[in-house]
Structure 1
Amino acid sequence: MTTQKMDTIEHKAYARIGFLGNPSDVYYGRTISFTLGNFWASVKLVPSKDLVIVPHPTNDLVQFQSLSNLVDRLESDGYYGGVRLLVAICKIFHNYCKENNINLHEGNFTLSYDTNIPRQTGLSGSSAIVCAALSCLLDFYKVRHLIKVEVRPQLILNAEKELGIVAGLQDRVAQVYGGLVYMDFSKKHMEELGYGIYEPMDIGLLPPLYLIYAENPSDSGKVHSTVRQRWLNGDEFIKSSMEEVANIALVGKTVLVEKDYDKLFHLMNGNFDLRRKMFGDDALGALNIEMVEVARRYGAASKFTGSGGAVVVYCPGGQSQARLLEDACTSAGFTFQPVKVMPSLLNEIDNGTMSSKA
């Protein structure tokens, strides 16, 4: 093995499914989420003379066939790409270490990334890139033991906030911890600690689940806007509904431990129904609603994985029901596949940084 190969650091971060309680994470609520092994982002760090951020050959296009080709690309994909995410986490990581008197050596590196997470599907593709990059930086600078696991999701979120990405902590917690995680974002915890209480759970508690997603869904970052303002204004309907959503995760924690999947069925459907009442059909989008409803027409429970673009499904009738639903999704132009749940990727050093063990 060459020296360069030995020095290369590579980390993956997986897509995530917001399973119960979302979107209450940005409203001092509770959620249960897990990492989805079907899709991931990987970041590679190689020591180098200069600090270099490498553009992705398809996600960071800077060369176009024509001016109209450039415009078409922007209209379909937006001003997206991973380079800006890598630059942002480098800045946030550097500033955090400086503020907390964590000394970083002077070495430079080259960062590159790849991802197969479908865009705008509410599966946290952007934060997966940032999460994987942060892991590389922790190892390159040998400071993994100095930055608590609980703090890392906030660093990832701060990097995305630098770029105007609207999001909450839930996704980043799931991706940092991996596996199945129960999260309590109560105001008391957030104000006292700066983060929530995060409890890893056994992934074996989950029943077989399925994923439905569309190739060209609406942007998942737009749906929080009016609800957020109404919540801040003290709107009683939004406040009480969001508390109900948060309570679904609290009840869901016990339901999963007891493997009461009949009750889980109703919790999943209830979670989406509350979201729909709060946000309204126009904000959720017809395509997103149809993904939920196609599953329900076949007797399955279904809800968004995030803010739209993909749906997580539980089929109480088992594989025969899932096969019927798969045919219906194919006819409707949706992708349907079994969910692969990834276990936690935290190592002994990570576990040693935690303030409290779940």
Structure 2
Amino acid sequence: MLAGKARDRGDFVTAQAAYRALTEDRDLEVRTEARFRLGLMLADDLKRYGDAALEFRRILDDKPGAARVRLELARMQAMLGNMGAARKELRAAQAAGLPSAVEQLVRFYSRALNARKPLGGSIEVAMAPDSNINRATRSDTLGTVIGAFTLDDDARAKSGVGLDLQGQGYLRVGIEPGADLLVRASTDATLYREPGFNDISVAVQAGPQYTWGGNQLAFSAGPSRRWYGGSLFSTAVGGGISWQRSVGKRGQVRLDGNVAHVRNRRNALQTADDFTLSANVDRAFTARSGGGIQVFGFREAARDRGYSLAMGGSSAYLFRELGRTTIVGTVAYSHLEADARLFLYPRRRVEDRYSASIAATLRALHLGRFAPLVRFKWERNRSSIEIYDYRRFVAEFGVTSAF
């Protein structure tokens, strides 16, 4: 074949042109074979792992049971540094059922996940119409022990259209076989025309990560900052430990523990020590579907007992690939109770929060490594304190890294 001969002699431009021409063939098998060979060339000869991942993903959109292709996609995810996505693809491959020879390849890839990209990251950008940008009450008044206060416009629910930006980058330095030093930086920003509601967070964490067998153990620590309305809202420093292990051929369990000291720059009485524990279980049901559940507990020990609180909750998600679209649905519930009543309010703060979301990533419309994203979120927080009682609906339209 012209493409294969061109690749053998190192003429990758001609080989790529020939393979791409064959991907337009009417015969699905011809298209599939051309994409697979193109993906291998992009990965093994040109080291263009992101482009190779796109080709393998396109094959799986048409043939989700193609186990070898899914394993190659897992390999690309690992080379790109997307370890969670790589393990997800391995679980999906095993859920589809594998012959014994391929099972051995899966075990090889599982052990080879240590071969990771040293530098990488991801980004998501979306326009977000929001019915309640400040998560505030719709009530005109606030009941207190000394009477009802009239709330001004900024203290009540406001709608708006924001620009939602999320990004993260990492640097991985090998220490020894099975051990790395991992440095991560992340940011989350929601920006509005009215700068008084802008919410920006930045965090940096670093620590060692160890991998052996089906286990991964990671330690991290570092600072974070949050700005609200254009001024510094809080600073924090903390650390955590995370343990992750494969469960059978299709599942994964993860345990996380974190502690942080958060200094509130606007109200010293809210300065607190935060403690979080969570457990996650993820499982592939088939090659194109899966899900997971999480349970968590959170404790905030503030200087004032009225701001100290305990919270617990759970969430669940399901995903399904429909052609070249991935649908993800999530539901969550949490319960919160404060230690004591704040002097101003007639009751102690007690809340029940419900939320749900559904998102679709439209890979058929991808541009390079990015694909359109549509996501809808709903929140309802029932609180014994009026100012914390709110409803919220958000629609997000943007782009996200496809892999």
Q: Same fold (TM over 0.5)?
A: no
Structure exhibiting the larger radius of gyration computed from Cα positions? 2
- TM interval, shorter chain, is under 0.3
Bigger proportion of residues as strand: 2
Query: Normalized against structure 2, the TM-score is what?
Result: 0.24
Using CA pairs below 8 Å that are at least 6 residues apart, which structure has the higher relative contact order? 1
Give the TM-score normalised by the residue count of structure 1. Answer: 0.26
Which is richer in helix?
Answer: 1
